[in-house]
Amino acid sequence: MSDRKLVKPTATPQSIVPASIVFKGGTIEGRGGLLIDGNLTGTTIVSMDDTTIHVSAQAMLTDCRITANDLLIEGQFDGFCKVKGNCEVGQSARVIGKMEVEGDFFKSRMADAVDLQVQHMRLPGSREDEGNVAQFQAVAAA
């Protein structure tokens, strides 16, 4: 049984960055879903359609930018995300950075959201909530 609450990864992603890949700089653009297992630094990742970008539990992204319709982060991410749809930070995630989310946002209480800022650009059903910002600080384990 999955612990995912909001975002489902694409069943068969068209593009995969395998764990054996180390990618520094540049841009990755794709359609049909993207699964990232590798190590990316200073990379811009763009979904060219309405499918999901999935940062797996084994992925490590540092100083990256993601533009996606839906985004599922289960690995390590440091950077900026702009999400047109829904965004989920899974329980194995470790996230630092800023997210602009137009749809729904879910962060597992087990996720290590270190200095994460989430800005809802447009919250469903409420015009007055535009521009709300949620801050998540690291919590030390007892």
Residue 19 reports pLDDT greater than 90: yes
The strand pair at 132-136 and 112-120 is best described as antiparallel
**Nearest Cα residue to 93 out of 83, 106, 82:** 106
39 φ/ψ angles, rounded to the nearest 5 degrees:
-110, 110
126 φ/ψ angles, rounded to the nearest 5 degrees:
-150, 105
Classify residue 61 as exposed, middle or buried by CB count within 10 Å of its CB (0-12, 13-18, 19+).
buried
**Band of the pLDDT at 132, cuts 50, 70, 90?**
low
pLDDT of 61-109, one tens digit each? Answer: 999 999 999 999 999 999 999 999 999 998 899 999 999 999 988 888 7
Distance CA 56, CA 38 (A): 9
What is the reported pTM? 0.81
Residue 138 reports pLDDT greater than 50: no
